[in-house]
Structure 1
């Protein structure tokens, strides 16, 4: 069954405000001094020499070259370095993933990499500044040369591991596009009163979030350097000024249509291999700022430590918006006897995380079931309930969306019709040849 964003993305009501002509920059996730010191203490020095350390602002591109002068090969290096205050690292080369704590960027491998003794390795990165600088306090660690580097799990309450996040995003992508592949090139006017709906998270031109992607993209790449979206900025600003002044979602796209083909240009920005990395990075940044980070903050506040709970909150934020997610949390707490909204809720009066997640999913199920259109997406909630019953709390076991709401609860809910996929613990996926629907 072919599915698109029109069955669920419009449900969320974004509380974004664009103040006049002041453009909100791309988000960054900082850290406090304690977390930064903790990160530094985990890093132990290898024997190496930095032979190149440049960041060319005009190219938005940094280069670090190091030579392994130790006796042993490096097999999974971690690279940590300082950048100017207020700057954000925003690009992962293949095989790398990163976190940021304050002004320190920490890149770790997602797969093994061998840097033999006396061999050199060239590492690339990018940030959101066009000002040249030299990275400070460059530190390289590796399991083979002392120090283990950051562990595979984040600090309690801070978020999910890179692979857990891939699983969460892939599952949500099934609900939005019937495939685990994030739809960066997607753009369509689905006639929901929000203008064009775009990209991996359904950024809308009429609700204050698509403009954040384009503002970020403009900061990284000019029209002369291949940015075909730059010409829409004036129209987007006009739409957002109207959105801000009225408080109403904006359906009009005339300000965009008068200067170009928005749908084609959005798709080209991702499909063009020259501009893809920048366009993808901006979508990732804005998605994290609006959806992932707020969901992780709520998980931390209410004591939901497990990746499965965090994944369920992330999907609720994408589906219902931040205010809708918080409303579901309040209803969950009240139903469990925590009407005073005491935080953390998990552990309060004996509330377990399993009981809290179960009630949260039931409340979300009821919200979807209460509307004839929302009801069409009700099976997405059952997928998280199935994993709760299976005890797949850390998402280490492969998961399938081979479950319907009617399989988990006694009511005869309609079948949503999502194609069944299997998502593995590392985020890879496949389409099973056979399916048996069950909540166990």
Structure 2
């Protein structure tokens, strides 16, 4: 039987890397070292990369796809890259003037051969073609640009692999593979309201990014119940930025309306659901998925399982915490100089690296009196590693505990066992046997 939601959220849902801030392993509370200088710069770089997808169609009869994105950031894009997933077996096969593309599995990535400026609040229409005469909707559309202040990520997960990775993380967060976009609760942890698919906090700078995105897509007159909270969110966020401290108060929000109810309704209302979901997905990818895939590329990790484990670590520990775990794994394998890529360095294999990374993460969770209750989440990736399910292409269950992999000293986390298929669909098995093999 799973742990009650409020207890689970208190234990497991806090992560960092909010607004690019360096955070401690214990959650999304910022590391105060260098805060006064780091916060404004980080805020600017993330805002400059904000965008909204307003059109995403592929008409099979025309062999033609259209993606329209709007630059909702604070700086002009100068050379955007567009990546998206296509159904299995489909090949992207045409470059519009000024574009060139590559394809890795089911992910097509288009980059510029010449400069292209997309001004703030301006929209750009991107066209592509494939070998398919069947209509579909491109998945996991991601726009990156040098205005982000960082580099474009290396190849990520295919659409199905990403769905499987998200299923797993959602089990650890909500005890079900179904992502809970409507969730909102104040669990009295000093971070205000915790919301949506990734536990976006009103007091730590990421919930405001969801609402900024949502406001760019839909006005209050057009059904946006969250627009009225923007002034209060801004006040709270300014305190967060100026102090570097998580903000517990929700007074500025509560004086305007019922934040929890409005958040839930924004997703549950079929009229506004698509926009609200899209913004949560975009902010989640920007803060957690894309940085995780960038790190995977940097260190030479090519397998879907490694990338899924890294993505879950970013969600759970934040960007700073995940990078600390990476450094610890590297050092333990003899790469104290942090030479990148680590795979292949002095004979280090991806299996050996992932094993060490999971052990280091296990130790971090087990060393904390609260986090130890979540230690079983690491065991699921270890079982998949031992079974060699590197591409996540074989159905599996999370019927494994840390004690099954590493001995009886670890407590049982209480996650409900789910069966997950390679396409991300899932079910709840009637019987199962805990094992790490």
> Normalising by structure 2, what TM-score?
0.77
Deviation at 1:9? 1.3
Cα deviation for residue 110 of structure 1 reads 6.4
Alpha carbons of structure 1 residues 254 and 22: separation in structure 2 relative to 1, 3 Å: farther
In 2, are the aligned partners of 1:80 and 1:107 still within 8 Å (CA)? no
Match of 1:378 in 2: 375
> Quick check: 1:83–1:103 contact (8 Å CA) kept in 2?
no
Tell me the equivalent position of 2:34. Answer: none
Corresponding residue number in structure 2 for 1:108? 86
Instruction: Tell me which moved more, 193-202 or 13-22.
Output: 13-22
Tell me the equivalent position of 2:215.
218
What residue is the counterpart of 1:142 in the other structure?
131
Ranges in structure 2 where 5+ consecutive residues have no aligned partner: 15-25, 31-37, 74-78, 91-117, 139-151
Partner SS for 2:86: strand
Name the CA distance, whole Å, in 2 between partners of 1:128 and 1:415. Answer: 52
Q: If you compute each CA radius of gyration, which structure gives the higher value, 1 or 2?
A: 1
Is 1:278 aligned to residue 275 of structure 2? yes
- 1:237 Cα deviation from its structure 2 partner: 0.5
| DSSP-derived class of the 1:163 partner | helix
Counterpart for residue 407 of structure 1: 404
Pairwise CA distance, 1:109 = 3.8
Superposition RMSD in Å: 3.3
Supply the distance in 1 between the matched residues of 2:346 and 2:388 (Cα, whole angstroms): 22
Contact 1:25–1:215 under 8 Å retained in 2: no
Q: 2: CA distance between counterparts of 1:254 and 1:320?
A: 28
Whole-angstrom distance in 1 between the partners of 2:277 and 2:70: 24
Query: How far did 1:108 drift?
Result: 2.9
Unaligned runs of 5+ in 1: 30-56, 69-76, 89-100, 113-126, 150-154
Q: Among residues 351, 355, 364, which one is paired with 1:354 in the alignment?
A: 351
Instruction: Check if 1:13 corresponds to 2:10.
Output: no
| 1:195 matched residue in structure 2 | 192
1:107 CA drift (Å): 6.4
Q: Report the counterpart of residue 427 of structure 2 in structure 1.
A: 430
Q: How many pairs does the alignment contain?
A: 368
Deviation at 1:130, TM superposition (A): 6.8
| Residues 342 and 263 of structure 1: CA distance in aligned 2, closer, same or farther (over 3 Å) | same
Deviation at 1:62, TM superposition (A): 7.0
Give how far 1:435 is off. Answer: 1.4
Superposition deviation, residue 13 in structure 1? 2.3
Which runs of structure 2 are paired with 1:77-156 in the superposition (5 Å)?
Answer: 79-81=64-66, 86=71, 102=80, 104=82, 108-109=86-87, 135=125, 138-142=127-131
What is the rounded CA distance, in whole Å, between the counterparts of 2:224 and 2:119 in structure 1? 15
SS at match of 1:269: helix
Contact 1:208 1:240 survives alignment (8 Å): yes
Deviation for aligned residue 1:102: 2.9
**Matching of residue 204 in structure 1 with residue 201 in structure 2:** yes
Find the aligned partners of 1:65 and 1:128 in 2 and give their Cα distance: 28
